[in-house]
Every structure is written in C-alpha cells, then in structure tokens.
Amino acid sequence: MKYEAIVMGVSSGGMQAMKVMFPLFPKDFKIPIIIVQHIGVQSDGEWIKILNHNCNLHIKEADEKETIETGNIYIAPPNYHLLVEKDKTFSLTIGERVNFARPAIDILFETAAEAYEKKLIGVILTGSNYDGTKGMERIKEYGGLTIAQDPETAASSFMPAAAIAAMQPDHILSLENIVKLLLKIT
Amino acid sequence: MRYKETSDLEISLLLEAIYRKYGYDFRQYSQAHIRRRIMSRMVMSGFEDISEMQSTVLNDESFAATLLQDLSITVTEMFRDQSFYKSLRENVIPILKTYPFIKIWHAGCATGQEAYSMAIILQEEGLYDRSIIYATDFNQNALNHAKEGIYSTSLIKEYTTNYQLSGGKESFSNYYTSNYDNVIMNQSLKKNIVWANHNLVTDSVFAEVNLILCRNVLIYFDRELQNNVQTLFYNSLINGGILCLGAKESLRFSDVYEKYTEWDPRQRIFKKKY
Ligand SMILES: C[S@@+](CC[C@H](N)C(=O)[O-])C[C@H]1O[C@@H](n2cnc3c(N)ncnc32)[C@H](O)[C@@H]1O
C-alpha cells in the first residue's frame, strides 16, 4: 500500500472540523489517523466520547508505547507532546511548549515523517497560529503527501495559510474534499 | 536535509560515546525524543553532522554538559494534576498517618516543585515534622535550583490556582516570600527535604521508603528500562508502601504489576502487597 498513516493538526475551530470529517470515514478505512488538537489542559476527554457516537472508526487518546493500528483515530492527550517512534508506537513527553502549544503539531508531524517517510499523509486544518508549518515541511522533505485545508473554507484561516505560504502543499481543499481524496488514495 | 541524512546508527553511536565517556546512559530512552533533542542541538550549535558533534562531545566537557541538559527535560509545576493531589490527600495521607516516621522519595524531582507541593500537604496534615523527603534527579543544575527554592513570580498565579483546586487549606502565599521578580519558598518547607543526585538507570536502592512519587519520568524510557526502574522502586518500598506514577504512566506492562494493588487506578496510585 502506498500510504501507511495520516497525521492531522488542528487548532481553533477544530471541534467543528472534526465533527464534519470523522463521520465520513468508513469502518474499513485502511490506515490509522493521528491528530493533534490544541485543547485546554483541563480537558477530561469528554469530547472524545461525544465524537465517537457519530464515527465508524474508534476515536481514542493515544497511550504511551501503544502500537499504532488501523481502525483508530488517535488524539494526543492534553498537556503532553505526542511522538511517533520508528517501530510505529507512540511516545509521550512533557517538554517545553512549542509554538505556545503542548501538544504541538510540529512535534507529531516531524517524528511521524521520520517514522513513515514517504508513506505519510500530513493534513493541516483550521487554526489561529503557525504550529504545523515546520512539520508539513518535514513531511514534504521525506516525500510524503501534504494537504492543507483551503483557508477560505477554514473557521480560522491562519494555520493553513501559514503552511501554504511556507511550503506549497500538494493539495488545498475543503474538509469534505480532503476526506474524498483520502478515501480515493488509500 | 540534515534530518533525513542522519541515520539511527549515528545517533546510537553518539549515545554509546556519551555513556562510555561520561557514564550517562540514554541508550534506552525514547528514540524519537532523543533524536529531536540531538538534532536541534546540532543545528543550534552549527555542526555539519553528527560525527563532528560527537568529537566535540568527547573533547569538550562544557559542550557535553550542554548536551546533557538538552537531554534532560525538567518541565514541572507545583500541584500539577490537581485531581492527583486531591487523591493523595484523601487516599494516601491516611495511610501515612499510621506510621511513626515517614520516608518519601521523589524520583526525577526536576526543579523541586513536586517536592515542595508534598511538603505543603504534609505540613497541612500535621505530618511534616515526622517526615523526611528524598528528592532526587540526575540533573545537578535542576537540583541546585530546587534546593534554592526560588521561582519566578510569573509562575505563581498558575501554582496558586493549582494549589487551590487540589484541595489546599491555606493561602498559597503563606508558603513563600516575594522578592521583586521571584519568590523564595519558606525555610520551614525545606528543612526535611534532602536533595540528592541519583540516576535511575545506573544507580541502585538507597533507602527503604513508605511512598514513592515518580511522575513523568518513565514516559521517556523504553519498556525494558521502565521495567528495570519499576523493580528498583519495588525493592525500595516497604510492604504496604505506595507508588505514584504520572497521569499517562502505567505499571501494567512491568513484572511487578501483580505485586501491587491498584489503590486509585485513575490517578495511577498503587499499593505494594504484603
Ligand atoms: C518532566 S520532569 C518531571 C518532573 C516532575 N516529576 C513532574 O512530574 O512534574 C522529568 C525529570 O526526570 C529526570 N530524569 C530523566 N532521566 C533520569 C534518570 N535516568 N535518573 C534520574 N532522573 C532522571 C529529568 O532530569 C527531569 O528532571
């Protein structure tokens, strides 16, 4: 298979974006999805339960050392950075904030690029800071596929626009069309 | 492009060199984490590649010290995870109260905030005078900072909120003296804390204790190393002693799991069986 995993980064406006996208993935979607969503430290994960109601895939917080498997949408736990190891397991760290964020999209994207190389798809969605731009560059450097949400369709255009300006992603699409593309190429 | 060209072999040779020359063993830490830290130091210090950096590490002790700092992440807070400290008050303090003398070990105490949080709780519960807190880390700079107990005023607002939400009984400002940009923790909190350099990978049991806190340290280790350290903790606890891990850390995959009961599974608090 051409691609083995998808990483997504999303910030302000993210909850709505995930509500739109997640239900569109079928139960037999072939590769795992890993997400950093910037969220308050005190989140109790209740929103994950709510999103699960309408989703064919299993949405869960990523655990340290957990093996990354198909059928899941993994979410970075609040207040930890999420890293992908070369053996396709997760690590969590409590490091300094990166781009004011912990979890930081850049850390997930950069480590996932090193682990999956060209078999990775990186998706940067709505958000109001520039986290994720460096990560998208790294995915591109390793030959992976890069997708940004069309800023005109994003609740908050700054994050995808920053990535687009810095690294010209392969595709710039609306949320629905991102999912359509992902279904087609995996 | 340097990221792509740096192989895992080069990184492991560098770690081997650090271990052989300085005795610090990072060979079983999370590879993705170590790689990120090493690469960012390489870029920051302007090295062309890892082998150039390696010869500097071996020949320049001050650069080696810088790199060791990079590899030790000391991010911490007072009363981090309020629900944990609440549970500590409710579910662990009553056990401690049954002991005539209490020994506590904070493994990986970083810059000390966790140990001071514990000292505050012990004072409020009337246990401090019969307690001794061993607070250890392998990062001497962090330990020196911890011992001074001086923190930036800009952090105090967050610490105060954490303290209040975790069931604090006093005004947090009772525990420090303000001095312009900094606060200094009270001497009365410091007097029963022993700060000591201890490496969880290479050093062994140094005391028998009633309670161990090791939070957000084991996440950096691979499974095998986690298991070794868990055995070290097991051997350091008295029967019926308590082990507290970080919110995202688990005991389940270690050999000693069966030898504990889950005291508060949500807060990762375990009790060693008799
Ligand atoms: C993220 S801090 C955790 C601080 C605190 N326990 C907390 O949860 O807020 C991790 C600490 O573990 C220490 N550490 C890492 N490896 C260690 C080792 N092999 N031996 C002792 N301490 C270590 C680091 O120096 C750092 O201070």
Domain ranges of chain B: 8-71, 82-272
Task: Give the residues of chain B that fall short of pLDDT 70.
Answer: 1-2
Work out the pLDDT band at A42, boundaries 50, 70, 90: low
Q: Answer yes or no: are the C-beta atoms of A141 and A33 closer than 8 Å.
A: no
Residue A50: its pLDDT value, please?
Answer: 87
Distance separating alpha carbons of residues A108 and A92, to the nearest angstrom: 10
ipTM of the complex: 0.93
The reply to whether ligand 1 has any atom less than 6 angstroms from the CB of B76 is yes
Give which of B80, B116, B112, B105 is closest to B213, Cα–Cα.
Answer: B105
Q: 3-class DSSP state for residue A164? A: helix
For residue B201, which atom of ligand 1 is closest to its CA?
19
Q: Answer yes or no: are the C-beta atoms of A14 and A48 closer than 8 Å.
A: no
Hey, CA dihedral for B17, B18, B24, B25, is it positive or negative? negative
Span from the CA of B76 to the centroid of ligand 1 (angstroms): 9
Residue A41: its pLDDT value, please?
Answer: 61
Give which of A72, A80, A111, A74 is closest to B219, Cα–Cα.
Answer: A80
A138 contacts in chain B (CB < 8 Å)? 3
Distance separating alpha carbons of residues A55 and A35, to the nearest angstrom: 15
Residue A43: its pLDDT value, please?
Answer: 67
Q: What is the largest CA-CA distance in chain B?
A: 61
Give a yes or no: residue A55 inside a domain: yes
Give which of B109, B105, B43, B107 is closest to B70, Cα–Cα.
Answer: B43
The reply to whether ligand 1 has any atom less than 6 angstroms from the CB of B112 is no
Average pLDDT, chain A: 94
First-residue to last-residue Cα distance in chain A: 7
Give a yes or no: residue A170 inside a domain: no
Residue B131: its pLDDT value, please?
Answer: 98
Residue A116: its pLDDT value, please?
Answer: 97
Residue A62: its pLDDT value, please?
Answer: 96
Average pLDDT over residues A30-38: 96
Residues on B contacting A at a C-beta cutoff of 8 Å: 1, 3-4, 8, 30-33, 35-36, 73, 75-76, 216, 219-220, 223, 248-250, 253
Average pLDDT over residues A110-114: 97
Q: Do B31 and A85 touch (CB under 8 A)?
A: yes
Total tally of structural domains belonging to chain A: 1
A86 contacts in chain B (CB < 8 Å)? 8, 31-32
Distance separating alpha carbons of residues B139 and B126, to the nearest angstrom: 31
Give CATH superfamily name and number for B82-272: Vaccinia Virus protein VP39 (3.40.50.150)
First-residue to last-residue Cα distance in chain B: 56
Minimum CA–CA partner of B216 in chain A = A94
Angle of helix B50-59 relative to helix B8-22, nearest 10 degrees, comes to 0
Q: Answer yes or no: are the C-beta atoms of A143 and A2 closer than 8 Å.
A: no
Span from the CA of B217 to the centroid of ligand 1 (angstroms): 5
B62: burial class by Cβ within 10 Å (0-12, 13-18, 19+)?
exposed
B150: burial class by Cβ within 10 Å (0-12, 13-18, 19+)?
middle
Where in the sequence is the domain holding A84, given as residue range(s)? 1-113
Give which of A51, A58, A146, A107 is closest to B33, Cα–Cα.
Answer: A107
Distance separating alpha carbons of residues A92 and A62, to the nearest angstrom: 9
Work out the pLDDT band at A105, boundaries 50, 70, 90: very high
Span from the CA of B239 to the centroid of ligand 1 (angstroms): 25
Please tell me the total number of residues recorded for chain A in this structure.
Answer: 186
